[in-house]
C-alpha cells in the first residue's frame, strides 16, 4: 500500500487529497491547526480570476479555468457533506478612489475588456450612485460579471468533511511536524503525535512550506504576508457585488446581511494579533467607498498568514523524487484550489499533461 503524506489541511492540501487516486494508496493529512493563522479560513472567498490580472499569463489562464470549476465543486461538496459553501455570482467592481490609481484601472480594463466584452466601465453617473464620496474626476471603476465568491470558512470545512468521509484518508489535526528526513526516495516525518513514513510527501503548508523544506536543505523563496480582516453586520441592502479597491481594500457581501472587509498586507509578519491601525484603515477605506455601512455591528476581527513568492507566481510541482510542493498562492488560494487540487493529484499519479500544465510553476527553474 502506497503511503502518501500531505502536510497542510488548508484548501490546497485538502483539494489534492480529494483528487488523488485512492487505489492502492493510503493518505495521511497532517496539520497543526493553529488558530488565527490558517489562510484558508481567514480568506475573503473571492473568485477573482480576472480581478488580479493585467496581462495574459499561465497563471491567468489557470485562474480562469479554476473559476469555471467552482460551481461543480460546490455541488459535489453539497452532495458529499450537505454543506452549502454559499457560491454567489453577482460579479465584482474594481475601483480606483484616487487619481494615482486611475492609470492602473485603465490599464487593467484595457486588457480584460479585450478578453471579455461583457466587462464595462462605470459611467460618471454610475460612479456617483455607487461611490457617493468619490470625485468622478479622480475615480474610475469597471464591472466584472463572472468574478464571484464563496464562503471560505464553509468551503474549508466542507473540504475537511469530504476527506474525513473517505476510508483511505486519515486526518491528523493538532499535530505539529517536528522534523523531516529523507532516506533514498522516501521520507520520515517526526511529529508531536508519532512518526509517519511517506512513499510520497506533499508540502502544502502555506507560508510554512519554506520552513519545512529547509529541513531537507531545500530553499524555497516564500514569505508570509499577514492580513487583517473584519466582519460586520449591517442593514444596508444596496450591495451584492464584491468591491475591490486598487489600494487593496475590499468589501465582500456575505449572508445574511454581513460584509467581510479586508485586507491589509504586511510582508514578513507572523503576528496573529490584529493591528488597531490596520483595522482603522479598513474602516476608513471601506466607508469612503460605501458610506452607507457606517451604521454597523462588528461581529469579529481576525488575521490570516498568506504565502507569497518574490514574483507573485505560485510554486507547484515536484521538487525531488516523490517530494511535491504547492504554495505561494497569496490572495488566490481559494480561487485556484479546484484546479490545483486536480493538476497536482494528476501530476503525483503520473499524468504527463498535468506535468506540462504545471511547468510554468515548477519549483525547479
The pLDDT tens digits for 64-77 are 999 999 999 999 99
pLDDT digits (tens, 9 = 90+) for 332-352: 999 999 999 999 999 999 999
pTM for the complete prediction?
A: 0.95
- Is pLDDT above 90 for 41? no
Q: What is the mean pLDDT of the segment spanning 288-314?
A: 95
Closest CA to 286 of 258, 261, 254, 256: 261
Residue 163's Cβ-side half-sphere holds a number of Cα atoms within 13 Å equal to 30
Percent of the chain past pLDDT 90, that is, above it, reads 94
- Please give the average per-residue pLDDT across 13-25, as a whole number: 95
Q: For residues 214 and 268, what is the distance between their CA atoms, to the nearest angstrom?
A: 17
Q: What is the CA radius of gyration of the chain?
A: 21
Q: How far apart are CA 308 and CA 303, in angstroms?
A: 16
Q: Give the integer Cα–Cα distance in Å for 25 and 13.
A: 16
The pLDDT score that the predictor gives to residue 36 is 46
With bands split at pLDDT 50, 70 and 90, how would you rate the model's confidence at 39? Answer: confident
Q: What is the DSSP letter of 123?
A: P
Residue 259 CB contacts under 8 Å (≥ 6 apart), including other chains: 231, 232, 233, 234, 236, 239, 251, 252, 253, 286, 293, 296
- 72-92 pLDDT, tens digit per residue, is 999 999 999 999 999 999 999
In tens, the pLDDT along 23-32 reads 999 999 999 9
Neighbours of 255 (CB within 10 A): 10
Across the strands, what pairs with 232? 259, 298
Average of pLDDT values for 217-224?
A: 93
Q: How many CB atoms lie within 10 A of CB 143?
A: 18
pLDDT at 98 > cutoff 90: yes
**250-297 pLDDT, tens digit each:** 999 999 999 999 999 999 999 989 999 999 999 999 999 999 999 999
Predicted local distance difference test score (pLDDT) of residue 152? 94
Question: What letter would DSSP give residue 164?
Answer: H
Q: What is the pLDDT of residues 99-117, one digit of tens each?
A: 999 999 999 999 999 999 9
Q: For residues 91, 155, 163 and 270, what is the CA-based torsion angle, rounded to 10 degrees?
A: 110
Do the beta carbons of residue 170 and residue 94 sit within 8 Å? no
Is the model's pLDDT at 328 over the cut of 60?
yes
Domains and CATH numbers, the chain: 2-82+152-221+310-361 (3.50.50.60), 92-148+223-308 (3.30.9.10)
Amino acid at each position: 500500500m502506497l503511503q502518501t503524506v500531505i502536510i497542510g489541511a488548508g484548501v490546497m492540501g485538502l483539494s489534492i487529497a480529494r483528487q488523488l487516486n485512492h487505489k492502492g494508496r493510503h493518505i495521511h493529512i497532517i496539520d497543526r491547526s493553529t488558530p488565527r493563522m490558517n489562510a484558508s479560513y481567514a480568506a475573503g472567498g473571492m473568485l477573482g480570476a480576472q480581478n488580479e490580472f493585467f496581462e495574459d499569463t499561465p497563471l491567468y489562464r489557470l485562474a480562469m479555468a479554476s473559476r469555471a470549476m467552482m460551481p461543480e465543486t460546490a455541488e459535489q461538496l453539497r452532495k458529499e457533506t450537505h454543506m452549502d459553501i454559499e457560491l454567489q455570482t453577482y460579479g465584482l467592481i474594481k475601483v480606483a478612489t484616487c487619481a494615482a490609481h486611475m492609470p492602473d484601472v485603465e490599464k487593467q480594463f484595457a486588457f480584460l475588456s479585450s478578453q471579455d466584452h461583457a466587462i464595462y466601465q462605470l459611467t460618471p453617473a454610475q460612479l456617483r450612485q455607487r461611490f457617493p464620496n468619490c470625485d468622478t474626476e479622480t475615480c474610475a471603476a469597471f464591472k466584472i460579471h463572472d468574478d464571484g465568491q464563496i464562503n471560505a470558512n464553509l468551503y474549508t470545512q466542507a473540504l475537511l468533511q469530504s476527506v474525513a468521509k473517505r476510508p483511505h484518508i486519515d486526518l491528523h489535526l493538532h499535530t505539529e511536524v517536528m522534523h523531516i528526513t529523507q532516506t533514498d526516495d522516501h521520507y520520515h516525518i517526526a511529529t508531536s503525535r508519532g512518526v509517519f513514513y511517506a512513499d510520497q510527501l506533499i508540502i502544502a503548508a502555506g507560508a510554512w512550506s519554506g520552513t519545512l523544506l529547509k529541513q531537507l536543505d531545500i530553499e524555497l523563496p516564500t514569505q508570509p504576508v499577514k492580513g487583517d480582516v473584519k466582519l460586520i453586520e449591517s442593514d444596508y441592502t444596496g450591495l451584492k457585488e464584491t468591491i475591490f479597491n486598487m489600494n487593496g481594500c475590499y468589501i465582500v457581501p456575505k449572508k445574511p446581511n454581513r460584509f467581510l472587509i479586508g485586507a491589509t498586507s504586511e510582508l514578513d509578519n507572523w503576528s496573529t494579533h490584529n493591528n488597531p491601525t490596520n483595522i482603522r484603515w479598513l474602516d476608513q477605506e471601506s466607508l469612503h467607498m460605501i458610506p452607507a455601512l457606517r451604521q454597523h455591528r462588528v461581529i469579529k476581527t481576525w488575521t490570516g498568514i498568506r504565502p507569497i513568492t518574490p514574483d507573485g507566481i505560485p510554486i507547484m510541482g515536484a521538487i525531488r523524487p516523490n517530494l511535491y510542493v504547492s504554495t505561494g498562492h497569496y490572495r488566490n488560494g481559494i480561487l485556484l484550489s479546484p484546479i490545483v487540487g486536480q493538476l497536482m493529484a494528476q501530476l503525483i499519479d503520473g499524468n504527463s499533461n498535468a506535468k506540462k500544465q504545471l511547468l510554468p510553476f515548477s519549483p525547479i527553474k
